[in-house]
Amino acid sequence: MTMKLNWPNAIVLSFLLFFGFIGYWVLQIETHEFYKYELVHENYYEEEIHYNLHRQAEENAQVWKTPLQLVREAEQLKGFPLPKNTPIIVEGYFPAAQEKDFKLHLKTDTLGVLSIPNNVFIKGNWVFIFSWTVQQKEYRINKKFYY
C-alpha cells in the first residue's frame, strides 16, 4: 500500500517540517552555551539614572581638537591624545560576552598616551569609555574599536 502525496498532504508535511526546523534551532539556541549573549549592562537602570551626567561629561570632552585614536601594538593598546599625567578610568564593554567587560584605573604618560595591557582583550567589537576629571570638571569619551 503506497501513500499518494497530493497537494493537501504536501502542504501539511511542509508545515510540519518547517515547524520542526524552527523548533530544532530554538532548542539549540536555548540549551547551548555558545549561543548565549548578554546585550545589556548588568546595571542598566543605574546607568540610565546617570545618563545626564555622562552626556555633560561627553560635551566637556569635545574640547579636544584631535579625536581620540586607538592603536593596537604587540603588548598593549595605546590611546592618544589624552591629558598628560592624568588618572583615567577605562571601561571596556564587550557586547557578546558580559564576563569580558572590565574597568581599569590607569594613568597617562608625559605625552598624553594611555597604555592598556592586551591580556584583557579577545577578538571582536569593543566599546571603550574613557573618563577623567581635571579641575573638578568631568570628561568622557566613548570609542568603538575592533580588536
pLDDT tens across 64-117, in order?
A: 777 888 888 888 889 888 888 999 999 999 888 888 889 999 999 988 899 998
CATH of the domain at 142: 2.60.40
Asked if residue 109 and residue 133 are part of one domain, the reply reads yes
β-sheet with 102-107: strand ranges across: 102-107, 87-93, 125-134, 137-146
**Structure confidence by residue, pLDDT tens digits, 13-55:** 999 999 999 999 999 988 887 777 766 667 778 778 888 888 8
The answer to whether residues 75 and 20 belong to one domain is no
* Confidence at residue 95, expressed as pLDDT on a 0 to 100 scale: 84
* Separation between Cα atoms, residue 146 and residue 136, nearest integer Å: 32
Global confidence as pTM? 0.68
Domain co-membership, 129 together with 105: yes
Domain extent at residue 19: 1-36
Average pLDDT over residues 120-141: 89
